[in-house]
Amino acid sequence: MSLSSKDRAFLLESIRNVPDFPKAGVQFKDITTIVGNPKAFKTIIDHLADRYKNAKIDYVVGAEARGFLFGAPLSIALGAGFAPIRKPGKLPYTTASEKYALEYGFDEVQIHIDAFSAIKDARALFIDDLIATGGTAEASIRLIERIGAKCVEAAFVVNLFALKGDERIKKLTNFYSILDVDGD
């Protein structure tokens, strides 16, 4: 199922633009207005569920925290498990970690080491709300693969294509975004 131009326009209009957040010069794309609108939220989940219904997804993997908003309902719609990827110190069991570079320093993501142990050769779908430069997504995909699942695709509600994070991800796995925006 592809989105109609009417649904695409509706979803784009549902995103709140917040100027100068978190710092001057950044035009933040706030998706809380999408999840706060039942019609917009349902449109996204229904679209993604239709896209992946025959993909044999065993786990949906969501990145903290907004990836959880889309990943959890999508996992239910697909009859798949959900695995959270979080910042260090947030998961209660033994974790695997992956560091990634930021503009000034490093950050890290973690997942439980047994997140995919229930299914041999698990197929995972990574999801997040937005991709900008792709650092978090790239680290998350590497982490998924390192602990034993195959990341069959990385999906995003919004792709800020001018920042070229999608190009990084396409080197690792298949890439999909619902809405491509230039960041303005």
Q: Phi first, then psi: give them for residue 42, nearest 5 degrees.
A: -65, -40
> Active-site residue among 51, 98, 103, 142?
103
Strand 175-181 and strand 16-19: the pairing is unpaired
Is 168 an annotated catalytic residue? no
**Residue 113 burial by Cβ neighbours in a 10 Å radius (0-12, 13-18, 19+):** middle
**Helix residue spans in 63-178 (DSSP H):** 66-78, 135-146, 165-170
Is 8 an annotated catalytic residue? no
> Active-site residue among 8, 64, 66, 86?
66
The DSSP bridge partners found for residue 160 are 181
Q: Which residues carry out catalysis? A: 66, 103
